[in-house]
Amino acid sequence: MTRHALIRVLVIDDSAFSRQAITRMLEASPLVEVVGVARDGEEALRKTFELEPDLITLDLEMPRMDGFTFLRVVMSKRPTPVMVISGRADEENVFRALELGAVDFISKPTPHAAPEIVEIEQELIRKVHAIRELRIDKVRERLSAAPPTIRQPATVHQPQGRSSSRRTRIVVVGSSTGGPAALMQIFGAYSQAPNCVFLVAQHMPAGFTSGFAERLNRLTPMRAAEAKGGDVLAPGSILVAPGGKHLELETAGGRTVTRIVSSRSDDKYTPSVDRLFETAAKEVGTGLVAVVLTGMGDDGRAGVKAVSQAGGKVIAESEETAVVFGMPQQAIRTGMVDRILPLDEIAAAIGNGRNERNRAMRGPL
- Core vs surface per residue 100-111: b (16+ CB within 10 A) or e: bbbbbbbbbbee
Q: Is 299 a catalytic residue?
A: yes
Which residue, among 39, 40, 41, 50, has the nearest Cα to 8 in the 3D structure?
50
Which residues are 158's β-sheet partners? Answer: none
Q: Which of 104, 203, 231, 338 is catalytic?
A: 203
Q: Which of 299, 308, 318, 344 is catalytic?
A: 299
Side by side, the strands of the sheet bearing 82-86 are 32-38, 7-12, 55-58, 82-86, 104-107
Query: CA–CA separation, 138 vs 181, rounded Å?
Result: 12
Q: Is 176 a catalytic residue?
A: yes
- Report helix, strand or coil for 262: strand
Q: Which of 176, 272, 308, 318 is catalytic?
A: 176
Q: Is 318 a catalytic residue?
A: no
Residue 241 DSSP label:
P
Query: CA–CA separation, 217 vs 299, rounded Å?
Result: 26
- Core vs surface per residue 237-266: b (16+ CB within 10 A) or e: bbbbbbbbbbbbbeeeeeebbbbbbebeee
Element (H, E) at 258: strand 255-262
Query: CA–CA separation, 271 vs 267, rounded Å?
Result: 9
Neighbours of 231 (CB within 10 A): 19
Active site residues: 176, 203, 299
